[in-house]
């Protein structure tokens, strides 16, 4: 399962620098490609992947305030997520 988490403009402005290694750009704006996404009280719990300085893929858990999430879509594969 793949998730695309579309951030609000405010979310990109506030968190963009901290999330620069995880954010991707699509026709609808900046988003986080994730392996998991679930609301957890005031935060969205996300599991994402990025490349570290050595080029290895690392998995991280992110907790993003709900107010910065515009839309979450899921699909069996990334290509099934409409706004990517």
In whole angstroms, give the CA distance from residue 34 to residue 19.
Answer: 13
pLDDT of residue 80: 63
The 8-class DSSP code of residue 8 comes to P
In whole angstroms, give the CA distance from residue 43 to residue 79.
Answer: 26
**How far does Cα 73 stand from its chain's mean position?**
11
In which band, very low, low, confident or very high, does the pLDDT at 30 lie, cut at 50, 70 and 90?
Answer: confident
Q: In sequence order, what are the residues at sequence separation of 6 or more whose Cβ sits closer than 8 angstroms to the Cβ of residue 41?
A: none
In which band, very low, low, confident or very high, does the pLDDT at 83 lie, cut at 50, 70 and 90?
Answer: low
Higher pLDDT, 26 or 84: 26
Cα-Cα-Cα-Cα dihedral sign, residues 18, 63, 2, 13: negative
Question: Mean of the pLDDT values across residues 17-24?
Answer: 90
């Amino acid at each position: 399962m793949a998730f695309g988490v579309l951030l609000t403009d405010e979310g990109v402005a506030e968190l963009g620098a901290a999330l620069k290694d995880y954010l991707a750009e699509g026709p609808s704006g900046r988003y986080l490609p994730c392996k998991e996404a679930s609301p957890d009280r005031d935060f969205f719990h996300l599991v994402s992947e990025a490349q570290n300085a050595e080029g290895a893929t690392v998995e991280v858990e992110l907790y993003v305030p709900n107010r910065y999430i515009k839309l979450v879509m899921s699909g069996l594969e990334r290509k099934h997520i409409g706004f990517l």
